[in-house]
Structure 1
Amino acid sequence: MAARRRGRRATAGAAAALALSAVLAGCGGDDSPADTVRKAESAVGSIASEAGEAVESASAEARERLDDIQDGTDVKGDVTTGPPVTGSDGRVRTEVTARNTDDASRSFAVQVTFRDAGGRLADTVIVTVDHVQPGHSATATARSTHDLSSGPVRTEVTRAVRY
């Protein structure tokens, strides 16, 4: 019985990874950076919630999609997360603050990782912080895609791209 459940989870993880790849394959081309980010947010959110094994794959795909943002600049050092807060539904949320050090209004695509007490990857999401004025900061909320209430969770900025 346990072997059959593990097999189902592995199959679900593989199916989720394939589905994410298919969804994200349509995120390039003529899409604007904002369209690419929105598609990646949606895909990562839906796939990461499918099965635990898919979180690793979703994380890799999210990094790849952030690489695809045209004219994007890596600015991980300009983005921070606040303390994680667990809601009544078990989902963890954190405030993401992006500081715009550029001389023009910019948006940010931020990959936030949720790790369990052992440091293992529990979830990953992409959140956007739109239209941050030069020299200012703005916030958005990153929220896990599933219940992470089984123990302490920490959040970190895995990747941040300013565009």
Structure 2
Amino acid sequence: MTGAVAGAATGCDAAKETAGDIVSSASSAVASAAQRKMDEIKDGANATDEVTAGPTSVDGDRTVATVTATNPKDATADYTVLVTFRDDGGNFLDTVVLTLDAVPAGASKSGTARSNRTLTGPTTAEIERALRH
């Protein structure tokens, strides 16, 4: 009987590892897709210091954060922003790309970054990269 229980426990551990691998693989795929989207922007200027993310909250089954771009230039600009959601330990949970169109010169404009999936526990939103174009 002990051998059967030990075998069952090993099977559960293997299933947990496989599930963890699947989640890790899916997270990597999402991050890669978001990075490719950012790489599509040609002639964009690094504007990470012009964009901020507010605190996260829950909207339905998704985590959201208000993202604000402040355009210091003399002309209207678009912003493409890579927003990463992390848990309270700093671990990657999800990433999204948000576009803020037509941010007026010398002004700010906000939009909502919305996670691709349900996130649990305390989360923060970070601006990983922002391009002004």
TM-score, normalised by the number of residues in structure 1 = 0.67
Q: Cα gap change, 1:95/1:55 in structure 2, threshold over 3 Å: closer, same or farther? A: same
| Cα distance change, pair 88–57 in 1 and its aligned pair in 2 (3 A) | closer
In structure 2, the residue matched to 1:123 is: 94
In structure 2, what residue type is equivalent to 1:55? S
The higher radius of gyration belongs to 2
* SS across alignment from 1:56: helix
**1:56 equivalent in structure 2:** 28
Measured after TM superposition, the shift of residue 83 of structure 1 is: 1.0
Describe how 1:1-163 pairs up with structure 2 within 5 A. Answer: 1-2=11-12, 3-4=14-15, 6-7=17-18, 10=21, 13=22, 51-89=23-61, 91-149=62-120, 151-163=121-133
- Post-superposition offset of 1:117: 1.4
CA contact (8 A) 2:81 2:98 kept: yes
Compute the displacement of 1:86 (Å): 1.6
Q: CA deviation at 1:152?
A: 0.7
Offset, 1:5: 5.4
CA distance in 2, matches of 1:130, 1:96: 13
1:9 is displaced (CA, Å) by 5.7
Does 1 or 2 have the higher relative contact order (CA < 8 Å, sep 6+)?
2
SS in 1 for 2:55: coil
Give the distance between the partners of 2:42 and 2:32, measured in 1 at CA: 18
Q: Closer, same or farther in 2 for the Cα pair 1:103/1:57, shift >3 Å?
A: same
Shift of 1:61: 3.9
* Distance in 2 of aligned mates of 1:105 and 1:59: 29
Asked whether the equivalents of residues 37 and 97 of structure 2 are also in contact (C-alpha less than 8 Å), the reply is no
> Which residue is equivalent to 2:6?
none
Q: Which has the higher strand share?
A: 2
Compute the displacement of 1:55 (Å): 1.7
Is residue 56–residue 121 contact of structure 1 (8 Å, CA) maintained in 2? no
The offset of 1:68, in angstroms, is 3.1
Q: Which residue number corresponds to residue 3 of structure 2?
A: none
